[in-house]
């Protein structure tokens, strides 16, 4: 239980900071010329490199364990996960060109649905009935909370920010993310020697290799354009560095949670973290919740309570 609490706390602290930096890096106008950093593959490469390095240091310096002995099959599985993961992220960043950050956060709160769907479709996994109730309650509650929030933006601006095309990109991102999580579950299930830290280090290493190959393509100007941008706008480099470090530290907690408790539990934690971000924003900025939003809040925490209660009952039944 203590492990789970530490994991949740680490994910919340690291990724609350990471989310703020992600929004800044992808939406802020840097310099006197007010240019935005639009080089998403470079951003993902830096994040993957930081994640792989932190994962390696964690295994060797903190756990004091040798690295995983690699086989052809293991490399194939890690590159499979890496390819899916590298493909998913750009769709999320592209979506921010058409929808605002809160709208994307709202859409991503429904991630539990593709995670369960991909696990059932790809690997024929089955879940107890209460899991479906928990997923439905949390997804419906978070969605209702955001949908019931008053918005002063009207007309063309609102139509642009809530573009159906942007939401379509988020749905693609979520579908691929669901395949990533379910494939990671399968890797852990079929190879017990692989830990969460191995997944973090080696998946990010493979992702870095794939993205580096793409960026070094002589017909792709993104790398040179990104370097020129960062040279002209050093403040962006500071934000990106902090973003990569927070993401890498957060991944330590994410992959430990994934290996120890499974992808659906991890998704529950990350979804509720997003909901907590919304609540903190509401109270910090002095906003008032209407009755429908309080009802949505109650629905989310009822779903979380149901999940915790059923897990505890299952553990007690095993002990008996």
Assigned token pair, 136: 């439905």
At 284 the pLDDT is 58
CB 211 within 8 A of CB 48: yes
Let me know: does 240 contact 25? Beta carbons within 8 Å: yes
* CA dist., res. 268 & res. 135, Å (int): 8
Query: What are the pLDDT digits (tens) for 164-196?
Result: 788 788 888 888 888 888 888 889 888 989 888
- Give pTM, 2 decimals: 0.74
Q: Is the pLDDT of residue 55 over 60?
A: yes
Point out the least confidently predicted range of 103-112, 179-188, 263-272.
103-112
Give 63's pLDDT tier (boundaries 50, 70, 90).
confident
pLDDT confidence band for 285 (50 / 70 / 90): low
Q: Is 57 exposed, middle or buried (0-12, 13-18, 19+ CB in 10 A)?
A: middle
Higher pLDDT, 32 or 222: 222
For 79-114, letters b (16+ CB in 10 Å) and e give: bbbbebbbbbbbbbbbbbebbbbbbbbbbbbbbbbb
Return the pLDDT at 287. 54
Q: Which residues contact 104 (CB under 8 A, 6 or more apart)?
A: 92, 95, 96, 166, 170
pLDDT in tens, 4-52: 888 888 988 888 888 778 878 887 889 888 898 989 899 999 999 999 9
Is the model's pLDDT at 297 over the cut of 80? Answer: no
The two three-digit tokens of residue 147, written as one number: 């949908």
Instruction: Give the Cα separation of 42 and 39 in Å (integer).
Output: 6
């Amino acid at each position: 239980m203590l492990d789970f609490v530490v994991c949740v706390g680490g994910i919340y602290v690291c990724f609350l900071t990471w989310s703020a930096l992600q929004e800044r890096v992808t939406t802020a106008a840097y310099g006197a010329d007010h240019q935005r950093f639009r080089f998403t593959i470079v951003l993902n490469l830096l994040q993957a490199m930081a994640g792989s390095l932190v994962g390696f240091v964690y295994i060797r310096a903190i756990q004091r364990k040798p690295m995983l002995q690699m086989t052809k099959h293991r490399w194939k599985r890690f590159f499979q996960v890496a390819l899916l993961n590298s493909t998913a992220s750009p769709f999320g960043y592209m979506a921010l060109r058409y929808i605002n950050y809160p709208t994307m956060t709202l859409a991503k709160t429904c991630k539990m649905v593709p995670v369960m769907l991909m696990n059932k479709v790809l690997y024929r996994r089955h879940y107890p009935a209460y899991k479906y109730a928990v997923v439905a309650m949390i997804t419906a509650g978070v969605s209702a909370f955001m949908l019931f929030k008053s918005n002063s933006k009207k007309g063309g601006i609102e139509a642009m920010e809530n573009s159906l095309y942007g939401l379509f990109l988020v749905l693609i991102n979520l579908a691929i993310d669901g395949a990533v999580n379910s494939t990671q579950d399968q890797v852990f299930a079929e190879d017990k020697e692989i830990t969460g830290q191995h997944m973090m280090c080696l998946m990010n290493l493979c992702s870095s290799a794939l993205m580096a190959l793409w960026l070094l393509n002589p017909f792709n100007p993104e790398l040179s354009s990104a370097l020129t941008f960062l040279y002209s706008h050093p403040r962006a480099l500071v934000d990106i560095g902090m973003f990569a470090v927070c993401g890498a530290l957060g991944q330590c907690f994410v992959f430990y949670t994934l290996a120890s408790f499974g992808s659906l539990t991890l998704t529950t934690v990350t979804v509720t973290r997003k909901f907590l971000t919304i609540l903190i924003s509401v109270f910090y900025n002095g906003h008032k919740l209407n009755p429908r939003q309080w009802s949505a809040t109650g629905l989310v925490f009822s779903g979380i309570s149901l999940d915790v209660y059923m897990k505890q009952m299952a553990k007690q039944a095993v002990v008996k």
